[in-house]
Amino acid sequence: MITFHDVKKDFGKLEVLKKINLKINQGGIFAILGPNGSGKTTLIKSILGMVIPQSGAIKIHDQNILKQWKYREQIDYLPQIANFPANLKVIELINMIKDIRSGNCREQELIQLFKISHFLDKKLGHLSGGTKQRVNLVLTFMFNSPLIILDEPTSGLDPVALITLKELIIKEKKAGKTIIITSHIMSFVEEISDEIVFILDGNIHFQGTISALKEQTKENHFEYAIASILKENYV
């Protein structure tokens, strides 16, 4: 579904992506992992067209996306930080996003699922961080797109909302969708991911299943397997 071929991105003298070659197949849950500054956010933003590589190609369904925009209508994106206008009510924000995007919308189902009904008439500036994240999740999933990108989706969620999110992600996978996730919560990644991509200093150091990573690093626990890659490359 998504392929990177020799994708390179610099910010001044800083090399953020170093000739990335990557393939993400259609259908399934893929986790992009790496420490802060590793290049994973730049990788995601390059799929969205928010970052333009200096060289290389990114294709979705064999179509080069460079300087294109129409393909974005088939992507649902959850940013890491939900910066909403403080003076808008929740329902006003939902309606505004519905007006901006086309297609069928399932906001009522998600409003009930994430239990934000009694917040609809409240201003976004008055909400807690966890409630804002639930609003963010409603906005992300309500257009039912085939590609979903979630940047740190668990941030601020209470245990009930976290379980709801996991169940929704698994449901979307069963519907044949491709879900790309970044997260620092390794237990969350291990529970739901079909495949992981580990990026470090702008290079991909592993792509495959968690069981394959454990076998490669000879570690029984996922966190230790990840730590093993980091130790190996920072010694």
Domain 2-234, what fold? Answer: Rossmann fold (3.40.50)
| Helix pair 159-174, 129-141: axis angle to 10 deg | 10
Return the pLDDT at 83.
83
pLDDT for the residue 212:
95
Tokens of 131: 């409630």
Q: Which pLDDT belongs to residue 1?
A: 84
Coil, helix or strand at residue 146:
coil
Give the model's confidence band at 234: pLDDT under 50 very low, under 70 low, under 90 confident, else very high. low
Q: What is the mean pLDDT of residues 191-213?
A: 94
Indicate the average pLDDT of the chain: 92
Please tell me the number of Cα atoms within 13 Å of 3 on its side-chain side. 9
| pLDDT (tens digit per residue) in 114-166 | 999 999 999 999 999 999 999 999 999 999 899 999 999 999 999 999 999 99
The encoded tokens of residue 232 equal: 């190996």
Six token digits for residue 12: 């001044």
Instruction: Name beta bridge partners: 182.
Output: 151
Q: Average pLDDT of 181-207?
A: 93
Distance (Å, whole) CA 154 – CA 176: 22
Residue 193: pLDDT above 80? yes
Q: Residue 19: is its pLDDT beyond 70?
A: yes
> Contacts by 109-115 with C-beta closer than 8 Å and gap 24+?
110/137, 110/138, 110/141, 110/142, 111/138, 113/164, 113/168, 114/138, 114/161, 114/164, 115/161
Which pLDDT tens digit goes with each residue over 28-82? 999 999 988 889 989 999 999 999 999 999 999 889 998 888 899 899 999 987 7
Among 102, 74, 78, CA closest to 1: 74
Q: What pLDDT score does 179 carry?
A: 97
Structure tokens at 212: 């394959």
pTM of the model: 0.93
Radius of gyration of the chain (CA): 18
Give the integer Cα–Cα distance in Å for 50 and 165: 26
Does residue 210 surpass a pLDDT of 70? yes
| pLDDT for 153 | 94
- How far apart CA 54 and CA 67 sit, in angstroms, is 12
- Ranges of H-type helices in 49-88: none
* Percent of the chain residues topping a pLDDT of 90: 77
State phi, psi for 195 to the nearest 5 degrees: -155, 150
| pLDDT attached to residue 37 | 84
Question: What pLDDT was estimated at residue 235?
Answer: 52
Domain-by-domain residue ranges, the chain? 2-234
E-strand stretches of the chain: 2-11, 14-24, 28-33, 55-60, 63-64, 75-78, 147-151, 178-182, 195-200, 203-208
